Every structure is written in structure tokens, then in C-alpha cells.
Structure 1
Amino acid sequence: MSSSLAEGHPPPAGPVRGRPRSEAVERAIVEGVLKLLEEGVPLAELSIERIARTAGVGKATIYRRWSGKEELFVDVVRATEPPDPELPGTSMRDDLVALLEQLRQRGLMTRSSALLRSVFAQMKSSPKLWEAYHAIVVTPRRQKQYAILRRGQAGGELRTDLDVELLNDLLVGPMLFRTIMQPDADLPAGLSEQIVDSVLEGLRPVSSPPVSSPAP
């Protein structure tokens, strides 16, 4: 899988297919796809040959970095999103706020970008592409969220009798609902903190006081 090329997304460690990776080449390919999309070319009509011609590279250069269009398009979408947040690590609560804030920022970007709205709409109409996006982007994010909640349970910040997958849905659901199902809903600063604190209220062990960030 190729790395995302948005600022803040360093290439992942691991084996590399073919020649050494070139971020400049990969950026040119991703920008070539974005250029075609901005010109109104539908995702379904974007062939590897057309992308290679626009980016000024050979088809083999693309296939050395991506196994096919689905994997490439997922990287294109990720390149337009906010980078994954650096988790504060100060508490479960603060890490959850950081993750929800990334979703809020992504929602704001999608609303302000006709291109992003079009890409997401087209992506959902393509089962293979939507499946690839979930496998490459959504599932790893959910696993990270589960890990934070389990650390909270292990550290005494959260009751241990709670189902972390259900709890994660309770935390992430309100933000996704506002950003996807209610495109006109407010996404004000502080919403991430409000959601996390509202959900966690009453879910901590009885003997555990609320954990919050220190005052600046």
C-alpha cells in the first residue's frame, strides 16, 4: 500500500515493491488524479493509462506503487484529508478528543470542497473502492480507537465491564452523524470535547475522578 502524500503523512515502514520510492513521483501521480477530477472526469473513467499520461510517468511506475486503481484512489482521498492526529498521551479522554477533532476537521474540509463531496459520493457508489477505503483507512482508525479505550480500562479511567466497540460507536457516532448525515449541522470548536465528556460522564469507575487536560 502506498503512503498518503498529504503533509503530515510520512511513508510507512516496510518492504517496498520495485524501485526505491520517490515522494516527488508519487505526489505527481496523486496530483495528476486530482487534476483530472477537478476537470470533471468521473472516477469510473480514470484509467491508469490516462493518469500516467497526465502525471508524466509510465504505467509501470504507477503499478510499482499501487496494486490498482482502488488503492491509488484511497491514497488520493487520504491526501486531501487532515493528517492523522498526534495523540497527546496524557489521558484516554485527551486522546479521544484528538481523534474526534480530526473527524470534525475532515467534515469542515469536505463541506468547503465541491471536489471532495464529489469524490466521496462517487466512492460510495463503487463497492470495490468503498471496500478498499474501509480496509485501508477506516478499519485501522477504529482499531486505534479500540486500543485507546482498552488502555483507559487498564489504567482505571473507564469501567472494565463496557464493550469497547459499542462505546466507540457512541463516541464517534455523533460526529459522523453531524458531518455526513446532517451536512448543515454546526461543527463548532469545542464539539469534540463536548461529545467525549458527555459520553464518558458516568462511565468511569466510581472511585475514579474525571480526567481532563490541565489548564493552559
Structure 2
Amino acid sequence: MPERAGVSIQKRSPDGEAGPRRRESILSATLQQLAEQGYRDLTMESVASHAGVHKATLYRWWASKGHLVGWALGASLSTGPIPDTGNTRDDLVSWLKVTIANYTSTTAGRALPGLLNDLADEPGTLEAFRAAFLDPRRANCAQVIRRGVDRGDIPADTDIELFMDVLAGPVFYRQLMTGTPPPHDLAERIVDLLLFGRIPRRLPTS
């Protein structure tokens, strides 16, 4: 069990014992309070009250406020399904479109830029976010890339970790740094650059 700053990152999985309905009510209340109050003013007491549970119930499954918020953010984003269209380019485009939707069309994704400073130093927050979302999401992408390698569409000696970083990197950069809305064909343009070296051209202006 990983620890940071003396705080247990995860006492036990939020799934199972909490029950699906109770778990969903807690995560929903967390996101609602986050939107209304911001991270600094959010409390475990307010989440528990809005979810209709005792505060002790929250601490039974989440070690801290940061751990709960990280898990709520991650659990509200889509990790799949793993695309299998029969075509490596289409699989990667499909995967990347879900990533774009996660960060531009969901409450959690839109909230992340404003929360990064608050969450970066909170024990358990980013670890919980990775466990609930990033790790399984990247595992899905790695499976798509390995399937492309097996088909001969991607070189066998490809650095898969770096490939995934480059694939999703422009989406994170736009959402977290520049705030630039993604063009409708962003997924296709990134994948074509990676697979075929097609340098992106400026989109025509109307």
C-alpha cells in the first residue's frame, strides 16, 4: 500500500463494500461541492451531509479530502471501451476522441485546470486520480498500440510510453495550459502525424 507524507493513500477500495449506489452518491456529492465551493472550502463534512452518509463512512474508504477528490475526478471520466475497428488508425482516433471528450465535455475534465495548484501538493490526490482513471486509460491505449504492432502498422521497437504521451499530450496542453478549443478533427490530425508523419496544416478560415 503506497504512502505519502504519512497518509495511507488508499485504505481499501471504494468499490464493493460501499455499495454502488452509496459510492455514486458520495462521488456525485463530491463533484457538486467541488463545483460550488472549490477545493479549498470543500470539507468531508459537507460531502457526507449532501451524500446522506456519516463522515466516518468517507474516511473508511478515502484516507483524506485529497484522496476523495482525486478519486471522484478520475471515476467520473471514461476509461474505455478499448476500440477494435480492425484498423489501427481508426482505433487510435477513436481512443483519442474519448480522451478529448473527457477533458472538454465533462465537469471533471473542465474543472482540472483550475484545480491543479490546489491538488498537486495534497497527499493522495494525484495518486487516486491515476488509480481511478489514468492507469486503466493508458493500459487501454497500450493494448491498441500493441495490436497495431502485431498488425505491422506500428514499428515493433516503438517506445509505447512515449507514444502514449505524444498521442494525448496536445489534448492536455490545450486544456490545461492554453485553453484553446480543439478543432473537430484534432484526433485525426494527431494520429496521422504519429503514424504517417503528416505535418498538420492550418485549417481554412471561413
Query: How many residue pairs get matched?
Result: 185
1:1-150 correspondence runs (5 A): 1-2=13-14, 16-17=16-17, 21-40=18-37, 42-81=38-77, 83-90=78-85, 91-109=87-105, 115=111, 117-126=113-122, 128-150=124-146
Task: Answer yes or no: is the 8 Å Cα contact 1:2–1:72 preserved in 2.
Answer: no
> Shift in Å at residue 192 of structure 1?
0.4
RMSD: 3.1
Unaligned runs of 5+ in 2: 1-12, 199-206
Could you list the per-position Cα deviations for residues 154-195 of structure 1 after superposition, in whole angstroms to 9, with x for gaps in the alignment?
Answer: 222211122222222222222222222221x24122210111
How far apart in 2 are the matches of 1:96 and 1:113?
A: 20
Task: Answer yes or no: is the 8 Å Cα contact 1:70–1:128 preserved in 2.
Answer: yes
Q: 1:78 to 1:163 in 2, by over 3 A?
A: closer
Unaligned runs of 5+ in 1: 4-15, 204-216
**1:162 match:** 158
Instruction: Report the TM-score, using the length of structure 1 for normalisation.
Output: 0.69
Could you list the per-position Cα deviations for residues 61-88 of structure 1 after superposition, in whole angstroms to 9, with x for gaps in the alignment?
Answer: 334544543442123213543x233233
Q: 1:52 to 1:127 in 2, by over 3 A?
A: closer
How far apart in 2 are the matches of 1:128 and 1:64?
A: 15
Instruction: Report the TM-score, using the length of structure 2 for normalisation.
Output: 0.72
How far apart in 2 are the matches of 1:111 and 1:60?
A: 27
Letter paired with 2:39: L
**1:213 match:** none
Task: Answer yes or no: is the 8 Å Cα contact 1:110–1:117 preserved in 2.
Answer: no
> Shift in Å at residue 102 of structure 1?
1.7
Identity among equivalent positions (%) equals 32
